Structure formats: C-alpha cells, structure tokens
Amino acid sequence: MTTLYLDRPSPIHRLNPVTKLVGLLAVVLVVFALPQWWASVAILVLVMVPAAVVSGVGGRLLLVTLILAGPLLLVLIIAQGFFYPGRETILFALGALQFSLEGLLLAVGVGTRTAVLVAASVLLLLTTHPGALMTALTERGMPAKVSYVVSSTLQIIPAFRTRAESILLAQRSRGLRTRGNIVRRVRVLLPLVTPLVLGVFVDVEERSTAMEARAFGSTRSRVSYAVIPDSRGQQFSRWALIVLALAVVVLSFTGVLR
Amino acid sequence: MKVSVHGLEFVYPSGVKALDGVDLEVESGSRLGIVGQNGAGKTTLVRHLNGIFQPTVGTVRIGDWETRGRDIADLAARVGYVFQNPDEQLFARTVAGDVSFGPRNLGVPPERIDELVNLSLERVGLAGEGQTHPYHLSLSERKRVALASVLAMNTPIVVLDEPTTGQDARGVAMIERIVRQLNEEGRTVIAITHDMDFCAENFDRVVVMAQGRILADGEPADVFANGEALDEARVEPPQLARLAIALGWTGTVLNVETFVNRLRDSERSR
Amino acid sequence: MIELAGVTYTYPDTERAVLHGLDLSITEGIVFGIVGASGVGKSTLAKVISGFIPHSEGGELEGAVTVAGIDVVKATLLDVVSKVGLVTQNPFNQITGARFSVEEEIAFGLENLGIPRDEMIERVGAVIARFGIQELRDRSPFALSGGQQQLVAIASIVVMEPAILVMDEPTSQLDPSGTRLVFDIIDRVAEQGTTVVLLEHKLELLREHAQVVAVLAEGRIVLSGAPREVLADDRLDQWGVGSTRFTSAARAAISAELASADSAIPVSLKEAVSYFSGGRR
C-alpha cells in the first residue's frame, strides 16, 4: 500500500483521527494568524518537536519534512537574504550582492511556517492508518464515495507498478528495445502505456460490478464495522483546540498579539 | 534449437531462493511440459530462457548463446514467450498491428511481415480479424491474438505459460493443434501447465518441479507413473493414468488410444 | 427459485442477440452447473440471473426473469443484490480496495446494507470460520494469492446471505489447489441451503459437485438433467463442450466393440472404474 503510515504504540497513534485532524487545523489557523517569524519557530519547538518524540516516528518525520520543506527554505533564504527590498542590516556581501538580516528573518519566518504545516500534516499521516481516517470521516458525514476513492487509490497503485513491470517484460520479450536515445525512448512509451491504461478500464468495469454486488451505493444508512475509539476527553480537547485557535486568530486580527 | 540448463540456481533480490540447482537438456524440436504447484519454480525457470532472469549460479544456453549478459530483446529472436495475460501486452489499434509488433522489432522485412501476420492469425482461428480493435474481442480471443503475436516472430523455441487455462474444449483443441504444428516445423516447444491431460497427450517429455528442484524428468509414461514424485510435488496424475491405477493395471496410460489397446489386450488374455 | 422464460438479450450497440428465447428453471438449494463453449453467453446468463442485466448493462432484455420470488426486471438492482450474489472469474478485480483488511473487506457488503453492528460481527466471524480463513483476517486483501483472494471474494458475498449464489467461472484463473479450495467452499455453502448456479468448464469437478447440469448453446438451454447423463451426452462435442477422458475412453471402447453401448457411459473416475472392471457385457 502506498502510504506514510508507520505503526507504533504511541499515544498519538491511539488518538481518534478526527482529534488529530482538528489538531492539524488548529496549527494551520495559528500559524497563519501569527505571521511573525518567531511564532512559527515557537510552534515548531513547543508543539511539533514534543509531538514527534512522543509519537515514536520522529526520525521519519524529520526526514520527510526536510525533503519537502528543506529546498524551499534554502531558496527562500537565498532569495530574500540577497534581494529583500527592506534591507537595513547587512550581514555579509558576495560581490555586488548584499545579504541582509531582515531578509534572513523573513525567509526563516516563511520557511518555518511551511515546515510547521508540512510537519503537522506528515505527522498526521505517519500516525493515522488511512482506513481509520476514512472510517472516522465517513462516520461524520463524508460521502462514502470519497472514502472509496482514497482507499482504493492507495491500495491499487502498487498493483499498477507490478503490472507496469509485467507489461515491460512482455514487450521486451517481443523484441522491444528500451535503451537508447531520447527518440527511441519516446517511441517505446506507446506499447508500455497503452496496456496499462486500457487495463485500468477493464479493471474499473469489473470492480464496479463487484462494488454493486456488495450493495455499494445503497441508500440505506450505513453502519460501520470498524470501531474507532473516541473519548469525552478527546471530544473536549477538540472543542478546546478550536476555541483556542480561533481566539488566537481574533487576538491577532484585533492587534492585541503582535 | 537446443536448450541447456546447468546447475541453475536463482535467488530473488528479496532473498527467496526460487531455483535450487536445476539441470535440464531440451533437445531441439522436442516438446517439453513442466508441471508442479504454484511456487515450485516453473515460471522462474522458464523466464531464464529468454533472459528475463539471469542465473545467480549456473548457465543457461539457448543454442550456442549463453543467456548471461544478453538483452531480453536479443534473446527474443530465438525464444518466443507467450505470457498468460494478453491484456498486459495488447496495445495496437488493430489485431494485425499488434501481431506485427514482434516481427517488426526483430527486423523482419516489411513484405514478409504481412505474410507472417496472416499466417499466424489463421493458425489461431482469427483469420478475418486483422483490422478489428483487440479490445472489441473477448478475453479468450485476445489470448489468441497474444499467441499469434508470438507465433509471428517465427522463433525456433516457443515457450507457453499456461496456454490452456480458462480455455473451453475448442480452445484447448486449438492449442493442441498449434503445439503439433510447431513440432512438425521442427521448433522446440516448452509449456508450463496445470492441465495434466493436456500435458500427457501432447508432450514427449515431462518435468515435475517442487521447491526449486526437478523431482522427475522423462517421458510422460514414466513420469506419470512415478507416484512418489507426483505426490511430493502435489500433482495429480492425468485422468486415464488414475483410471489405470484404479483398475490395477501395471504401467500407465496416457491417451484414449493406448487405453483401448490395453483394454483389448486384457480382453484377449481372459 | 429461479425461473427464466423466453429470455432474449442483445447487448447495447450490437445487433445479434446473445440469448435467444432462453428457458431455465432451477430448484431451491441445489448446485446447478451450466456448461457451454466460450463466448456462447455464460457470463451474460450469469448477469441476467443476478440482475446486472438489465440494471447495470442496459441493452435489450425480453422475457420473464423471476429470482427468489422477485421480478428482476421490475425490481431495483439493490433489491436483487441482497437476494442474489455474483462471483466472477478475476479474483483481483473483486477485491474492492475499499478496506484494508480481509475482515473489513468481508464486512463491506453488510455495512452497505445497513446491518446492525452486532449482527455484522457475528456473521463475519461465522463466515471466516466456515471458510477456514482465520489466519487471513488481518492481512491486506491485496497481499493474498489468487486462490485466497477468490475465497475472500466469495466470503464477502456469502456473508450477505443471498438465497442464490451465481458463480461465473470462479476457478478459471486459479491453479489446482485454489480450485479445490473453491469447490470445497461451494459444498459448504450449498449445505447451508444456498442455491448455487455454477458456470464452469471443469467437467470432472462438476460431475462431483453439481446436482443438475445444463448446457448453454445457440443462445438457449439445449439440455438439462442429471450430471451423469448430461455430461455423457454425445451432442456435447457439437455444442463446443468437451468430455472427460473417462467418457472418451468409454466411447472409444464401444466403437472398438470392447464395451457395450447399453451401460451408462461414465463421467467420473469412480463410474469409469465400475464401467471397465466388469458388468460391461
């Protein structure tokens, strides 16, 4: 299955998926409400790092966040550092280009904000089984069709990779050469891609029959087989998080928190 | 063309050992049936013949070529491999277009290609369907297109991966006819099959595999009488062989003609 | 339990009818085998009985189709689906992808039907036990072998407790051990009283497991009756249906005047043994 999920015995893993979603939402709200560079850094240090440690997936979280947000942060530092118009304090110069503190701080602010958003999202995915997430959302009114699209895509993609390999072998066994110049490589695409795409159509047709045979699309109210644990404590926390985040937004807009 | 396999061992990247020392000599122009449970190593073995797999240990020779280091596309000139699933290779807009893919890749001159395509389509009973879109055909017809596309490559060795699976009686009869024709043309035919009756009646050599090794190798009459090997490989003998055993006959029976002759002999001896 | 009268069906955008004035009657609680050449309409018939024709496929359907007391044409697909289950040949395409474990995959149909949770748990547990697939419970349905996937597909339908189970060449893509598993399950399902309509090529197994066998040819049911008689009929060849080697051997023996044409021609191994070991003359 194509997924980030890593199974660990951590309290964060055990949380109800909706609680984690609300947590993510709260982080997003706060991060955008407080554009100051120190706000994002504070959230990173005070919220994300402890969460990463507790969840037991800190290593993977760090790696993925670096891969996704790292390059952006680097580009920002270079761009803003050298070209930020409001430059006053120069830290160093490279030829005609001057690197300013203001630019650096701006870059750090934006970059860290991105890093926090990425890290929070990735943490959610690392600690939440897609099936549990889909079930929790469907229970709260998300259409079953959306859940199906997500689950089936995650599970069927690896099968496509296997199929693509089989197609490649079958065509090479009929003499197709795959090495060579760019022109050859483009010509090679048709016999590789066509069966893959057509195969999808055949599959989709048969699978939709199987779905209908299992009464999918029935208008009866669905009951969920899997039970996703929840608690009053978590319910309360979710409301508290929302209230807190909204409070921060309001306080920020009204100029109290600057 | 002859096929020689010596001391072949193969270990998948995952560490699973699929072949544990296989030795096999297939004489030019013979018909070899390979049987055994799924996971026994039949497909792994046969995929060494056209270079899909390279030996971890040992050698595989196709005629005078060693497969080591050779590209699948090169070996395709000598070994035509018919895969089980036609939908993993059909891509052209017409049946003829797909069947001509192999010969085109092999550098067959264009004048000759049309001839080969028509001949192959005739052989699989799809003579008039050259301009049909492959996906307008049923699954069993698409299987025949895939088979035709390999026949058109005119290779001295033809490998069939479960050719009779899912086929009805007429489909099996067509496959039998093709095996016979290929044999008459002097080609070497190698087939993996679960259909013991098909195997017993159409092949002059049978190999029984289990757990990456060959348990029995010889003429069908000997192999299908080897109860021990068949048991170990969890393979059931063909229908007539089982009948011969149940009737308490010595030796085994592989086809109806032989059965009738044995019956006549046992009548006479009364 | 199943009554088809004068059924004629033409697929959309085609001219020739695949089924032509087909009549078929299947009594409750048996395993009913249907044989026929490829392309003759077996899958079409399977879809008519299970309601996918006309509700899913469109096309032109004439005639009366009554299944488990429902008029299939007038009912909705949902009504039919809760009474008639359909299993097809490709195991991979019957794994929905909607759920991540075998257990939940099996429960999926029950969820859609709105069955109360306690009952779902009971039914799923019972089916898993009956099919002997406890070790597969927590595994991903996509990580299973073809035979195992087919068992899961059948379990997902059987758990919905349909009165009728239509199986369209369920073993055609399986190896012998997978095939054995499926036929074993067919017996267990039939024991529970489910009517099984089994479209198959494997004659020796049909002889063993079916109580009635019918032949589909030329768009209609051309023969129907006890497996031993139907599978030994000499018109099977012209209809594109083969015979077991036991049958061929008996026929050849009769031609060679080594056996009498009066005894019933054998289809199975057991029948062949008694046929050839004595009492032939």
The pLDDT tens digits of the residues spanning A98-138 come to 888 888 888 888 888 899 999 999 999 999 999 999 999 99
Residue C103 has pLDDT above 60, yes or no: yes
CA-to-CA distance for A110 and A92, rounded, in angstroms?
21
Is B2 exposed, middle or buried, given 0-12, 13-18 or 19+ CB atoms closer than 10 A? middle
Alpha-carbon gap: B243 to the closest alpha carbon of chain C (Å): 6
pLDDT value at residue A41: 85
Q: Which residues of A touch C107 (CB under 8 A)?
A: 225
Q: Which residues of B touch C276 (CB under 8 A)?
A: 243, 247, 263
CA-to-CA distance for C16 and C59, rounded, in angstroms?
11
**What are the pLDDT digits (tens) for C52-75?**
999 998 889 999 999 999 999 999
- Could you give phi then psi for residue B4, rounded to 5 degrees? -125, 130
Bridge partners for B80 per DSSP = B158
Contact yes or no for B170 and C276 at CB 8 A:
no
Q: Which residues of A touch C56 (CB under 8 A)?
A: 209, 212
Candidates A172, A174, A164, A169; CA nearest to A195 is A164
Contact yes or no for B169 and C240 at CB 8 A:
yes
Which residue in the set C96, C100, C110 is minimally distant from A211, CB to CB?
C96
Alpha-carbon gap: C252 to the closest alpha carbon of chain A (Å): 42
Helix, strand or coil for residue C14? coil
Q: Which of A163, A166, A225 to mutate to test the interface with C (most CBs of C within 10 A)?
A: A225
Contact yes or no for B165 and C173 at CB 8 A:
yes
CA-to-CA distance for B76 and B89, rounded, in angstroms?
15
**What are the pLDDT digits (tens) for A75-94?**
988 888 888 887 777 888 88
CATH number of C2-243: 3.40.50.300
Tokens 């267990």 found at? C188
Question: What total number of domains does chain A contain?
Answer: 2
The per-residue pLDDT of chain A, averaged, comes to 88
Candidates C50, C22, C63, C24; CA nearest to C214 is C24
Contact yes or no for A175 and B102 at CB 8 A:
yes
Q: Which residues of C touch B264 (CB under 8 A)?
A: 256, 258
Sign of the C-alpha dihedral computed for residues A212, A217, A223 and A229 taken in this order: positive
Contact yes or no for A221 and C114 at CB 8 A:
yes
Candidates C131, C191, C183; CA nearest to C157 is C131
Alpha-carbon gap: A7 to the closest alpha carbon of chain C (Å): 14
Residue A194 has pLDDT above 90, yes or no: yes
Candidates C248, C270, C249, C250; CA nearest to C260 is C250
Tokens 């031993």 found at? C228
First to last CA, chain B: 48
pLDDT value at residue A141: 87
The question of ipTM being above 0.85 is answered as yes
Task: State the amino acid at position A109 in one-letter form.
Answer: G
Tokens of residue B51, six digits: 């270079």
Q: What is the mean pLDDT of residues B209-237?
A: 94
Q: Where does CATH 3.40.50.300 sit in chain C?
A: 2-243
Task: State the amino acid at position A34 in one-letter form.
Answer: L
**What are the pLDDT digits (tens) for B98-139?**
999 999 999 999 999 999 999 999 999 999 999 999 988 888
Is C24 exposed, middle or buried, given 0-12, 13-18 or 19+ CB atoms closer than 10 A? buried
Same domain, residue pair A131 and A244: yes
Residue C93 has pLDDT above 70, yes or no: yes
> How distant, in Å, are the alpha carbons of A175, B147, C4, C250 from that of B121?
19, 9, 38, 36
Strands across the sheet containing C212-217: C84-87, C164-168, C195-199, C31-35, C212-217, C220-225
Same domain, residue pair A152 and A181: yes
- Give the pLDDT band (50/70/90) at residue C281: very low
Q: Which of C100, C122, C124 to mutate to test the interface with A (most CBs of A within 10 A)?
A: C100
Q: What is the mean pLDDT of residues C218-229?
A: 94
- Give the pLDDT band (50/70/90) at residue B270: low
Q: Which residues of B touch A169 (CB under 8 A)?
A: 52, 72, 83
Same domain, residue pair A116 and A166: no
Residue A3 is assigned to a structural domain of this protein: no
Q: Is the peptide bond before C54 cis (omega within 30 degrees of 0)?
A: yes
pLDDT value at residue A99: 85
Tokens of residue B205, six digits: 């050599």
Residue C166 has pLDDT above 90, yes or no: yes
Q: Which of C175, C243, C245, C273 to mutate to test the interface with B (most CBs of B within 10 A)?
A: C245
DSSP A256: S
B50 — contact with chain A (CB < 8 Å)?
A: yes
The per-residue pLDDT of chain B, averaged, comes to 94
Q: Are B32 and B85 within 8 A, CB to CB?
A: no
Per-position DSSP letters for A4-71, written without gaps between them: -------HHHHS-HHHHHHHHHHHHHHHHH--SHHHHHHHIIIIIHHHHHHHT-HHHHHHHHHHHHHH
Alpha-carbon gap: A167 to the closest alpha carbon of chain B (Å): 5
Residue A130 is assigned to a structural domain of this protein: yes
Q: What is the 3-state secondary structure (H, E, C) of chain B?
A: CCEEEEEEEEECCCCCEEEEEEEEEECCCCEEEEECCCCCCHHHHHCCCCCCCCCCEEEEEECCEECCCCCHHHHCCCEEEECCCHHHCCCCCCHHHHHCHHHHHCCCCHHHHHHHHHHHHHHCCCHHHCCCCHHHCCHHHHHHHHHHHHHCCCCCEEEEECCCCCCCHHHHHHHHHHHHHHHHCCCEEEEECCCHHHHHHHCCEEEEEECCEEEEEECHHHHCCCHHHHHHCCCCCCHHHHHHHHCCCCCCCCCHHHHHHHHHHHHHCC
Contact yes or no for B243 and C272 at CB 8 A:
yes
Residue B161 has pLDDT above 80, yes or no: yes
- Write the Ramachandran bin of C279: left for phi over 0, alpha for psi from -120 to 50, otherwise beta: left
B157 — contact with chain A (CB < 8 Å)?
A: no
**Higher per-residue pLDDT: A38 or C25:** C25
Residue A84 is assigned to a structural domain of this protein: yes
CA-to-CA distance for C90 and C50, rounded, in angstroms?
17
Q: Are A214 and C108 within 8 A, CB to CB?
A: yes
Candidates B154, B132, B158, B159; CA nearest to B145 is B132
Which residue in the set B76, B87, B104 is minimally distant from A202, CB to CB?
B87
Contact yes or no for C89 and B166 at CB 8 A:
yes
Residue C280 has pLDDT above 50, yes or no: no
- Write the Ramachandran bin of B232: left for phi over 0, alpha for psi from -120 to 50, otherwise beta: alpha
Contact yes or no for C245 and B197 at CB 8 A:
yes
Residue of chain C nearest B256, judged by CA positions:
C249
- Could you give phi then psi for residue C68, rounded to 5 degrees? 50, 40
Domain range B1-78+157-171+179-236, its CATH number among 3.40.50.300, 3.40.47.10, 1.10.287.90, 1.10.3470.10:
3.40.50.300
Same domain, residue pair A202 and A239: no
pLDDT value at residue A2: 76
Residue of chain A nearest B51, judged by CA positions:
A173
Q: Are B209 and B233 within 8 A, CB to CB?
A: yes
**What are the pLDDT digits (tens) for C8-48?**
999 998 888 999 999 999 999 999 999 999 888 999 999 99
pLDDT value at residue A255: 78
Residue A188 has pLDDT above 90, yes or no: no
Tokens 């069908």 found at? B220
Q: What is the mean pLDDT of residues C234-263?
A: 92
**What are the pLDDT digits (tens) for B10-38?**
999 999 999 999 999 999 999 999 999 98
Alpha-carbon gap: C30 to the closest alpha carbon of chain A (Å): 22
CA-to-CA distance for C127 and C125, rounded, in angstroms?
6
Candidates C205, C164, C3, C20; CA nearest to C81 is C164
Enclosing domain of residue A127: 11-135+229-253
Residue A240 is assigned to a structural domain of this protein: yes
The per-residue pLDDT of chain C, averaged, comes to 93
DSSP C141: G
Contact yes or no for A223 and C117 at CB 8 A:
yes
C218 — contact with chain A (CB < 8 Å)?
A: no
Helix, strand or coil for residue C216? strand
Task: State the amino acid at position B195 in one-letter form.
Answer: D
Which residue in the set B85, B106, B135 is minimally distant from A175, CB to CB?
B106
Residue B87 has pLDDT above 60, yes or no: yes
How many Cβ atoms sit within 10 Å of the Cβ of residue C23? 14
CA A247 to chain centre: 26
Chains near B (3 or more Cβ pairs under 8 Å): A, C
Same domain, residue pair A67 and A31: yes
Contact yes or no for B140 and C39 at CB 8 A:
yes
Q: Which residues of B touch C88 (CB under 8 A)?
A: none
- Write the Ramachandran bin of C99: left for phi over 0, alpha for psi from -120 to 50, otherwise beta: beta
**What are the pLDDT digits (tens) for B30-75?**
999 999 998 899 999 999 999 999 999 999 999 999 999 999 999 9
- Could you give phi then psi for residue A255, rounded to 5 degrees? 80, 5
Residue A223 is assigned to a structural domain of this protein: no
Contact yes or no for C109 and A214 at CB 8 A:
yes
pTM, two decimals, is 0.90
Scored b (16 or more CB within 10 A) or e, B192-229 reads bbbbbbbbbbbbebbbbbbbbbbbbbeebeebbbbeeb
Which residue in the set A166, A175, A194 is minimally distant from B105, CB to CB?
A175
Tokens of residue C169, six digits: 């060449």
Same domain, residue pair A90 and A169: no
Residue A37 is assigned to a structural domain of this protein: yes
Per-position DSSP letters for A77-91, written without gaps between them: HHHHHHH-TT--SEE
Q: Which residues of C touch B172 (CB under 8 A)?
A: 242
Q: Where exactly are the structural domains of chain B?
A: 1-78+157-171+179-236, 86-154, 238-270
Contact yes or no for B52 and A198 at CB 8 A:
no
Residue A213 has pLDDT above 70, yes or no: yes
